[in-house]
Amino acid sequence: MFAGITRSSLSTRSSWNPGTLSMVLLSLVVATGCRACGADNKHKAKKKSAELVKKKAPPGKPVSSIAAEAGPKGVLAKLPIKMPAAEDAREVAPEVTAARDLILKGDKASTEAGRTQLVEFVKTHETDADAHYWIARSWMAESVVVPAIDEFKLAIQHDAAFIGARQWVSVAMQKEKRCADAVEHLNHVMEARPDDLDAVYNRGICKIAVADWDTALADLTRYCEKNAEPFCTDVAKAQKMQANATGERRVPTDEEKAEFERKKAAGELPPAREAFRKKVQGQ
C-alpha cells in the first residue's frame, strides 16, 4: 500500500525491521503531508517561554507575578527605606548627652556602654523621653529591632511631639513588616513637617509592601515632583499600568496636550502614534 509495503508484509514479524519502519514512516509523510510543519513556530516559542518561566518561578507562583516583578512595579518594590537624615535639636540631661555621644561613636563597645548608662538612668528618670530614644537608637545600631521599637514607643508615650522618635520607630516597624503601625507614625511626621518628603517616600514604600498601589504611587509621585531620582521614571510607568488595570485613564494636562499638538504639527510623533492617530481619524 505504502511504497510497495503490503498488509501481509506488515503483519509478518520477520519483515518488521528498522529499515521497513523507516520506509513506512516516510511513506506516511509523503501520503498525508506534514501538517503544520514549520507553521507552529509561535506555539513552540510560547511553549519554550512557558518552560523558561516554569524553571525560574518558584512552585505555585503565578506568571503574572513574575511579569510584575520584572516591570516598573518590581523595581519600586525593591526600593530601600530612607533613614532619618538629621537629629532633632533637643535639650537633654547631661547623663543622656554623655551616653548619646558614646552611642554615636558607632563601635560595639561604646554602644553597649552608652546603653548601660541609660538603662541605669531611666531607673530614676523613667519618663525621660530622650533616654528611652537613645536606648532604642543603641539597639538599632546593632540591628536589634524589637527592643528598639519598645523603647521608641516609650519615648513617644512620654513626649507625643517627639517627631524624631516617630521617624525612627516607623523605620523599625517597616523592617519588622509592621506597615500598618508604621504608617500611623509617618502620618504624624507628615502633619508636623509637610515639607519632609522622606516621610512621604517611606509611606509610599510601606504602602507598596501591603499592595496599596494607589496610595503608594500618589506618595512617590509627590516625592518625585521635588526629587529627580532614577526610580521616578518607573513611578510614571507604574501609574500607567495601574490605570490600565483599573480601567481608569489619566487626563492629560494642558501642557501635555499643547506638546502633543506641537509634535503633530511638526511631524515629530512616533510612527506608531501617528499611524494610530490617522486610523482614529479615518485618514
Q: Which domains does the chain have, with CATH numbers?
A: 94-246 (1.25.40.10), 253-283 (no CATH)
Residue 148's H or E segment, with its range, is: helix 145-158
Among 16-25, 128-137, 185-194, which is the least confidently predicted range? 16-25
Please state the rounded mean pLDDT for residues 200-225.
94
Say if residues 220 and 198 touch (Cβ distance below 8 Å): no
Q: What is residue 61's predicted lDDT score, i.e. its pLDDT?
A: 55
Say if residues 63 and 57 touch (Cβ distance below 8 Å): yes
> Given a cut of 70, is residue 22 above it in pLDDT?
no
**Maximal CA-CA distance, the chain:** 109
63 confidence band (pLDDT: 50, 70, 90): very low
> Given a cut of 60, is residue 65 above it in pLDDT?
no
> Given a cut of 60, is residue 12 above it in pLDDT?
no
Per-residue model confidence as pLDDT tens digits over 118-168 = 999 999 999 999 999 999 999 999 999 999 999 999 999 999 999 999 999
Say if residues 97 and 75 touch (Cβ distance below 8 Å): no
For the chain, percent of residues with pLDDT exceeding 70:
69
> Given a cut of 80, is residue 271 above it in pLDDT?
no
pTM of the entire structure?
0.63
Tell me how far apart the alpha carbons of residues 112 and 45 are, in angstroms, rounded to a whole number.
Answer: 60
Q: What is residue 99's predicted lDDT score, i.e. its pLDDT?
A: 96
Tell me how far apart the alpha carbons of residues 20 and 157 are, in angstroms, rounded to a whole number.
Answer: 91
| Of residues 204 and 258, more confidently modeled | 204
The pairs formed by 59-64 with CB atoms below 8 angstroms and a separation of 24 or more are: none
> Given a cut of 50, is residue 206 above it in pLDDT?
yes
Q: What is residue 146's predicted lDDT score, i.e. its pLDDT?
A: 96
Most confident listed range (147-151, 238-242, 243-247): 147-151
202 alpha carbon, distance to own chain's centre: 13
Tell me how far apart the alpha carbons of residues 172 and 166 are, in angstroms, rounded to a whole number.
Answer: 10
Q: What is residue 264's predicted lDDT score, i.e. its pLDDT?
A: 83
Question: Which residues, other chains included, contact 88 with Cβ-Cβ below 8 Å and sequence gap of 6+?
Answer: 162, 163, 164
Please state the rounded mean pLDDT for residues 240-267.
77
